[in-house]
Structures are given as C-alpha cells and as structure tokens.
Structure 1
Amino acid sequence: MRLFLALIPPPALRRRLAELAERAHARLGGRRVPDDSLHLTLAFLGERPTAQAEALARWVEERPIPEGEWRLDAWGSFRRPGIVWVGSRTPDRALTELQAALWQDLERHGVAGRPSGFIPHVTLLRRAHRLDTAEMSPPDLAWPYRQLALVRSFTDQDRARYQTLARSPLS
C-alpha cells in the first residue's frame, strides 16, 4: 500500500482552499486537485506491506499530536511536475517540529526515507501551464489542526484517490 501521513483541512477551510484552486486554475491552467484530496503531507511513506500498514494505523490511532494553527499566506510552485501550491512565507516552527518528531517515530517503526527538507504546502494544481504566481494576491488563511491521518493513495482511472486508514486521537 502506498501511504502518507497528513493533516486534513476542516470543511470550511477545504472550501476556501477549493476557491483558491479555482482561482489558480483559471489563471495558470493545469489539473486541479479535487476538493476531497486537499491535504498537507507531513511524511510520505511510500509502498508498505499490509502488516506494516496495519501496525502504522495502530500507532497513529494511539499518537495524539500537539494542537496548532498554520498560517497560509503565500503562493508557491515546484517546477517539476508543474505544481502550484499555497503555504507560508516563513517556515512554521510547530509544523517543522511535528514533522521531525513523526519521522523519529517512523524510523523506530522501520520506515526509512526522511526527506532532507520540508516545505509545508497544499498542492492545488498539477501540470500547471504556467507557474507565475507573483501577480496573484496572497492567501490569508488559518488552519487549526489537532489530528493526524494515515492515508492510502491509489490510482483509479489515471487519477490519484485517497482513503483515510486511521486518525490520531484529538489533542
């Protein structure tokens, strides 16, 4: 199973992110990420055997995360593969610490692959025709978070789909 750990936006924030995705799509083209797929990836775990996925689900269900709030106030892009995203102008210390703590625990569970860097972001477009976000007015959103999700990713008819396998206790 292809897995990742993520924060899932609350419904009101998901709607606001969807509005930003529409605005970006109208201006930059590409493929919009579906509203129900919007998330912040904290750790991409890659392909995992079923037994390990089940152990990770139990771990997530027993691991509360510190409550926090992430401020989304910037547009950004990754040249390859044409990703347009929203995130923060400055690094968010609480998210960076959470991501590092999760990777420490994951490594104890035999999961390797900690990335060398972490740029918290929500992908809104893939394969954008243009990546110039400088002219777009910056977002101003607050994302209160208190729960972690273990998510399975699979491809269905050439489109990524996500299934939440486990959620942490509310903090």
Structure 2
Amino acid sequence: MRYFLGFDLDAKSKIALDDWRNKALPRFERCVPAKNFHITSVFLGKVREQQLDHLCCAIQESQFQNFNLQIDTLGYWSKPKILWLGSTQIPEHMLQTTKRLTEYAQQAGLNLPIREYIPHITLVRNAKNNPPAPLYEPDFELKIDQLHLFESVSGKNGVQYPIRQTWPLHRPIRPR
C-alpha cells in the first residue's frame, strides 16, 4: 500500500480553490477533483505494516504546532506536467513538521528521496504546457490544525486519498 503524510483542506477551502481554478485559468482535461485537494508533507511510498506502526507511534508521541498557510502563487512543473498552487512564504512550523516527519519515516526504515520541500496543492495533472498567467492571483489563507496519514488508492474511478489516521496540531504555548 502507498501512503503519505499531509494536510487536508476544509470543504469551504476546497470549494473556493476549485472556484478560483474555474474562473482564473483556462479549461484543462485532467483537473484534480476538489475532493482530492491536499498538501503532502512527506510522501512515504510503499510501506510495510511494521514500518507504518513504528512511524505512527513516533508521531503519536510527538506534538506539532498548527499554522496558517497563505496560498498566493501558481506554479508549473514541466517534467511531471503538474499545475499547482503554493505559497511564497512557507511557515516555519510547517517546515519543522516536515523535517521531523521525514526523520521519523527514515527511523522507521523508509528510504525517502532527498529533495527541497515545496508545499503545494495539485490542480491539474498532465498539463501539456505551462498555462498563461491567471486572470487574477490566488489569495487564500488555510488554517492547518491536523496532520493525516493518507493512503493512495487507485481504482477505475481514478485515485482516491482516504485518511487512515489523524493527529491534532496544537496551538503554540505562549509565555505569560
């Protein structure tokens, strides 16, 4: 089974992002359904049950802080042909969370590729060309207060991302 750790978006945000895509961009053939909008923190790939248990225990024993993410830029990766939304300012808590989760995954025996973390929401797959600039820029603030273990399940109706486990992200403790 294939898994990843990440952040789901609330229904209102998914609808708003889908509405923005439909109004600000040209039509595409392979649009990602709004129900599949998410932000991956760490892609795990194929995971054995023992590795998954080790990883989930490490996450359960940890605390991560919540954060807000400003979605304000449109990007395109030509090699995988993916059109995505992202942020020009990645919150420090998000970077710290991803770093710790990567360490936990490696401690569980997962061999993860080392690459720069670019949090993003995939809008379109197999976008043949980099589209023209949007009619208006994206401007969304997402409140991220839960971490999820997602499974990637391929079926005849496309890919689904059921959530298999959830951990709360906590508010930072402020000194008095």
TM-score (normalised: structure 2) = 0.85
Aligned to 1:105: 104
CA deviation profile, 1:45-77 (whole Å, cap 9, x unmatched)? 010113323443444444432111010011111
Aligned to 1:40: 39
Pairs within 5 Å for 1:105-124 = 105-124=104-123
Is the contact made by 2:58 and 2:104 (CA closer than 8 Å) also made in structure 1? no
Q: Which structure 1 residue ranges, 5 or more long, are not aligned?
A: none
CA 1:157 to 1:165, structure 2 compared with 1: closer, same or farther past 3 Å?
Answer: same
Task: Report which stretch shifted further, 141-150 or 81-90.
Answer: 81-90
Is the contact made by 2:3 and 2:45 (CA closer than 8 Å) also made in structure 1? yes
Letter in 1 for 2:63: P
Instruction: State the alpha-carbon separation in 2 of the partners of residues 28 and 62 from structure 1.
Output: 45
CA deviation profile, 1:112-142 (whole Å, cap 9, x unmatched)? 2143211111001111243224243211100
Note the C-alpha offset of 1:94: 3.0
Q: How many residues align?
A: 170
1:17 aligns with 2:20: no
Note the C-alpha offset of 1:88: 1.3
CA deviation profile, 1:29-48 (whole Å, cap 9, x unmatched)? 13111122110000000101
Flag the structure with larger Rg: 2
Is the contact made by 2:69 and 2:90 (CA closer than 8 Å) also made in structure 1? no
Pairs within 5 Å for 1:20-169 = 20-23=20-23, 27-157=26-156, 159-169=158-168
Partner of 1:148, secondary structure, is: strand
Note the C-alpha offset of 1:166: 0.5
Partner of 1:27, secondary structure, is: coil
Identity of aligned residues (%): 25
CA 1:165 to 1:82, structure 2 compared with 1: closer, same or farther past 3 Å?
Answer: same
Coordinate RMSD, CA, aligned = 2.1
Instruction: State the alpha-carbon separation in 1 of the partners of residues 114 and 50 from structure 2.
Output: 24
Instruction: State the alpha-carbon separation in 1 of the partners of residues 155 and 126 from structure 2.
Output: 18
TM-score (normalised: structure 1) = 0.87
Instruction: State the alpha-carbon separation in 2 of the partners of residues 168 and 63 from structure 1.
Output: 10
